[in-house]
A and B are shown apart, each in its own frame.
Chain A
Amino acid sequence: MRLLLVEDDPLLANGLSAQLEKAGFSVDTARTAREARQLGQQESYQAGILDLGLPDGNGLDVLRQWRTHKVSFPVLILTARGDWQDKVNGLKAGADDYLAKPFQTEELIARLHAIVRRSEGRIMDTLTAGRFELDENRQTLRAGDQTEHSLTGTEFRLLRCLMSRPGQVFSKEQLLDQLYSLDDTPSENVIEAYVRRLRKLVGPDTIKTRRGQGYLFDADSR
Chain B
Amino acid sequence: MPIAARPHSVRAMLLILLLPAGIGLMALAWIIHGALLERMSTDFVESRLKDEVAFLEHQIRQSGGRTDTLQTGDYFQEVFHHAFAIASPSGQSISPKTWTPLLRPLLSSEQEGAVRVRDAEVPAAPSEMLGYRRAFTVDGNSFVVIVAEDMEALQQSQAELHTWTAVVSVLLVILMIGSIWVGISLALRPVVGLQASLKRLQSGDISRINANGPEEFRPLVRQLNQLLDSLDDRLERSRDALANLSHSVKTPIAAVRQILEDTSRPLDKNLRREMASRLDDIDAQLESEMRRSRFAGPQVGQSACPVKQARDLLWMLGRLYPDKSFELSTDLPEHHRWPVEEHDLNEILGNLLDNAGKWSSRWVELTLGEDQGRLKIIISDDGAGVSETARSQLGKRGLRLDEQTPGHGLGLAIVHAIVERYQGQVHYTSSKAGGLSAVVEIHGSDRFGSRSSN
Contact = CB atoms under 8 A, between A and B. Distances in A.
Contact of A182 (B279, B326, B382): B382
Contact of B318 (A82, A139, A183): A139
A181 B363 contact: yes
Interface in A184-209: 193, 197, 200
Interface string B406-432: 000000000000000000000000011
Interface residues of A, number: 28
A85 B329 contact: no
B259 interface: no
Contact of A150 (B280, B312, B327, B365): B312
The number of chain B residues touching the other chain, given as a range, is: 35 or more
Contacts of B279: 102
Interface string B359-396: 00011010000000000000010100000000000000
A97 B357 CA distance: 15
Contacts of B329: 193
A182 B431 contact: yes
Contact of B327 (A92, A140, A154): A154
Interface stretch (B46-54, B161-169, B343-351, B445-453): B343-351
Interface string B305-318: 00000011111101
B349 to A, nearest CB: 8
A91 interface: yes
A96 interface: yes
Given A102-B279, A180-B325, A200-B334, A152 B347 contact: no
A85 B319 contact: no
Interface in B257-309: 279-280, 283, 287, 294
B42 to A, nearest CB: 75
Contacts of A91: 315-316, 319-320
Contacts of B365: 182
A153 B343 contact: no
A138 B362 contact: no
Nearest to A151: B315
Given A102-B279, A153-B326, A96 B431 contact: no
A29 to B, nearest CB: 23
B23 interface: no
Contacts of B312: 88, 92, 150
A160 to B, nearest CB: 14
A120 to B, nearest CB: 12
A127 B234 CA distance: 52
Contacts of B350: 84, 87
Contacts of B325: 152-154, 180
Contact of A84 (B334, B347, B382): B347
A5 to B, nearest CB: 21
A118 interface: yes
B314 A152 contact: yes
B196 interface: no
Contacts of A140: 315
B319 A138 contact: yes
B313 A84 contact: yes
Given A153-B325, A153-B327, A180 B363 contact: yes
A122 B194 CA distance: 67
B19 interface: no
A111 B315 CA distance: 19
Nearest to B342: A85
A13 B311 CA distance: 35
B415 to A, nearest CB: 12
A149 B322 CA distance: 18
Contacts of B294: 83
27 contacts: A83-B346, A84-B347, A84-B349, A85-B346, A88-B312, A88-B315, A96-B319, A97-B320, A102-B280, A102-B283, A118-B322, A139-B315, A139-B318, A140-B315, A150-B311, A150-B312, A150-B316, A152-B327, A153-B326, A153-B327, A180-B363, A181-B363, A182-B431, A182-B433, A183-B432, A197-B328, A200-B334
